[in-house]
Chain A
Amino acid sequence: MTKVKTQSLQKKGSDLAQSNRQLEILSNGIFKSGELPTFKDKISETSQFPLKAKKLEILQINVGYMCNQVCDHCHVDAGPDRKEIMTRETMRQCLDVIKNSGAHTLDLTGGAPEMNPDFRWFVEEAAKVGIKDFIVRSNLTIIRANKKYYDLPEFFKKHNVHVVSSMPHWTKGKTDKQRGDGVFAKSIKALQELNAVGYGMPGSALKLDLVYNPSGAFLPGDQAAMEKDFKKALMEDFGIEFHNLFAITNLPIARFLDFLIASENYEDYMYQLVEAYNPSAVTNVMCTNTLSISWDGYLFDCDFNQMLELPVNSKSKHISKFNEELLEGRNIVISQHCYGCTAGAGSSCQGVVA
């Protein structure tokens, strides 16, 4: 049975809305007792501590936590009740950085980035810079949420935006369970509309990729096999085409951590992550070539660290004081949630890494 999802942890006044409470949980229990090794100890085994930032390749900008959905697994704790929104002023500062940095990829995320009132202005301005890969992480349902968003597929096309969208399963039951009642039908319609303007079609330069993350306390399966199953089912059932599927592991923070604890799956899940630890995934983990920028302009090693309020370990902490040289080679800030990016074939916003 699906449920109507309405409130963020923050709105509910949950303990777990606090980042320090989440970090406390991740540091205590089985990690404090030594039953499982901390992430620091684990990467030290292969002399990979401290994890260092390499050359900046990807700028991931979170333009706000507001979202039209309240998904079970959301590491942002996003929802309609979240009011943190990037201002045009901060966007201007981001544009200066985009123009001058060596990053080849710009990745806009949220919440639903389209809900930021300056989203279109920002996309238009950023597209002028001519960055190689310009990603917008769209939750799909936003395209069908309100008339003012109906033209988004055309807008994305006009600015040659690379659309990356979440899709937890090719069936209604599993999708709506995770993302809320009615999400599957709206997502299918949105995908068909994206296809109609050329997104995701074989050979099309209009890139449409899907993100799969598990609906519960288990790790994602093999990315290539999942992509095959998704492609077959979406084509046979709805005539939908897309390019690549990225399989992403749920990290034990925010609402997913809340779910793990409430369902008594936390310890078992952490065991799964630690047992699936893959040292070769550490080499290419996304924090080493990515910088995450929050709605208020602060810099983080990744979007997960942003949500845990773990700022970069550098003197350059804000977009207004951005200094690529200072940031390169910085020590990445880690905790036990990092096991989520090094399990199995690894996990990043672009899928597997190993």
Chain B
Amino acid sequence: MKRLMLTVMAVLVMLLVAAPQAFAAGAPPSNAKKGTFTSVDMESRTAVFQAVDADEPVTLKLGDSITRDDVKLDKRVMVSLSDAGGKEVVTEISVMFIGLTMGKLIALLIVGFVGGLLSGFIGSGGAFVLTPSMMSLGAPGAVAVASNMAHKFPKAMVGTYKRFRYGQVDVRLGLVMAVSSILGVQLGIKVQKMILNTWGSVGSDLYVSFVFVVILVVVGGFVLKDAITGGSGAEGDEKERKLAKAMQKIKIPPMIHFKKADVRLSMWVTVPIGFATGLLAATIAVGGFIGVPGMIYLVGASAIVASATELLVAFVMGFWGSIQWALSGLVDIRLTLLILAASLFGVQLGAIGTTYVKDHTIKLVMAAVMLIVAVSRGVLIPVYLDELGVMAISPGLAGVLDSISFWALITALATAGVIISSAMIKGIIQSRVEEREAAAAAGGV
């Protein structure tokens, strides 16, 4: 117990050191201003802007791409500024708070629910569909990322609590993974920035999509193979665990004993795994897709323990990330709470679901989601290549690829929802029958 307390304290101190630069999904934009336009003059292409954090209004120059319709007066907006010859020029204007219609409300609730279900079941998920969903409803990108982040940590907290009660969370493993991940995220962001500066935003999109697709196909394929072969017998399972066994042979002190995962690993093995998770998480923005397989195949935890522990990692990372985004005032709490409303049901249902299924079902859901999401990102690669001028595709084809990408995301969610619900219903029915039979047998004696 004393050692656990010391571990927790060490983790908290490390977090405090790492926190000021910790952004689990990239840093909030520094060249964006929030405020309201009070008047506009299209002849001189200037507009008077009252920023939320300034006492006096300022006159801003409008960039060439800005039209009169873009400048919405007396509405809270976020403007992107670029520095042109010492004068700030407005390059983009987005309305910060989307109007909530009944349709948008229902859409957010449904996506939030399934995202929560997935999160409770495989430890992560939701972000890859929630952020684009909010953006397609009209929220600016930074607000979508911030609002998703602020819903992720309370959801993960509730999920962690539930799964901790079922005895599935390895607290020590989760904390070590979280801290080393946060450090990895720092390097990941630096790499991202370097690519952005060298190749611009399309180059960055292309790089992210490429890494995303390669990792998801390789790791997802590996998990799928394990779910199929490991499910039918112990042989496949044994083969896949070879890597974890090799890791356990490294005995460089300090050694850490992970009780729930039931392994004893050198810190020099665990920390790099977490670091790599963070590094990749900063790039593909879905850390769990790396963290859970990492804990299964490299650390040697079961899928149930790995997915439960990932929730703790998501909570710690999400909490620090949310603080950063909230400090820059980009969280639309209405969006956050709407997704949270449904996802709090989903995450608990997903957590309950894990008590009825075997490891193999968790791996199957994970693999299915990873591979379908890879398709959704992969089909967009030609679009980015077209924008970079490497190849040419027609605008019609680009539109088709865009909608394939969107529907692949929906398919990923729906597939996961169907597998989880059917496995859970089957499990519940079987468990009730067994209980009834046991009761009948006891009554008959």
| A and B: bona fide binding partners | no
